[in-house]
Amino acid sequence: MSIAIFLGPTLPVVAARRILAATYLPPVARGEVAALLLQPEPPRAIGLIDGVCAPGPAVWHKEVLFALSRGVRVFGSTGIGALRAAELQTFGMEGVGRIFEAYRDGVWEDDEEVAVLYGAAASGYPPLSEAMVNIRDGLARAEAEGHIRPDTRQCLVTAAKQMFYPERSWPSLLACGVALGLPAAELAALQAFVRQTAPHLQRDDALVLLRHLAALWDDGLTPHTPQFTFEPGYYWHQLVQS
């Protein structure tokens, strides 16, 4: 195992493999990065894209630090990866993509911005809701192309943000727009735009990460040089012994 990628609803594994030959694992949960690193042949790099749905415990920051302390390159993008990369970049975790940059720069702070409800592993983790970051990006693009006005975009952003994340979707947002009395012509134009372009910032960022890793692998993928000392502590020992 040279590169391990935790991937779920953002992108089908078959599409990811066309870009990067790697070991693809399900959405990451707490303890799984640590277990990966304790194998006889741990990966040289780890990519975090998707994580478990709430209320499952998310991947622990300490696991990323453990990987970095052992020279393993850790990359993050799209969902939980973007969040952890923004939080741990000073320790050497490497973020990729616009979502990571927005968290890094303080544009977004709410974890719920990237939350998505998805289906079972047997079905390929199909997304059952739309992430707020995808809604924001789609609405911004629709405004830039003249399909909706700025005030309509802002009204829809506010409406989407007020939805519980498992219920957030383009159809539910368009229905909300009708209920709010927004211009029918703009809503129709937005619906057509979404149908034709399928805006999905998370998918776009995941593709950027995979291409970035493929280029690094071709160049030799040098190991990480840690600038800190890993301190395991009580809860770390509990994690790895469980």
Dihedral pair phi/psi, residue 5, rounded to 5°: -125, 125
Whole-model pTM: value is 0.95
Ordered alpha helix ranges (H), the chain: 13-17, 32-37, 61-69, 80-88, 98-104, 132-144, 150-162, 170-179, 184-197, 201-218, 233-241
Q: What confidence score (pLDDT) does residue 233 get? A: 86
CA distance 32 to 83: 17
State which fold the 3-119+201-225 domain adopts: Rossmann fold (3.40.50)
Q: Give the separation between CA 79 and CA 49, rounded to whole angstroms.
A: 6
Tell me the Cα Rg of the chain.
Answer: 19
Per-residue confidence in pLDDT tens, the chain, 242 aa: 699 999 999 999 999 999 999 999 999 999 999 999 999 999 999 999 999 976 678 999 999 999 999 999 999 999 999 999 999 999 999 999 999 999 999 999 999 999 999 999 999 999 999 999 999 999 999 999 999 999 999 999 999 999 999 999 999 999 999 999 999 999 999 999 999 999 999 999 999 999 999 999 999 999 999 999 999 887 888 888 87
Q: How far is CA 94 from CA 74, 140, 213, in A?
A: 6, 27, 11
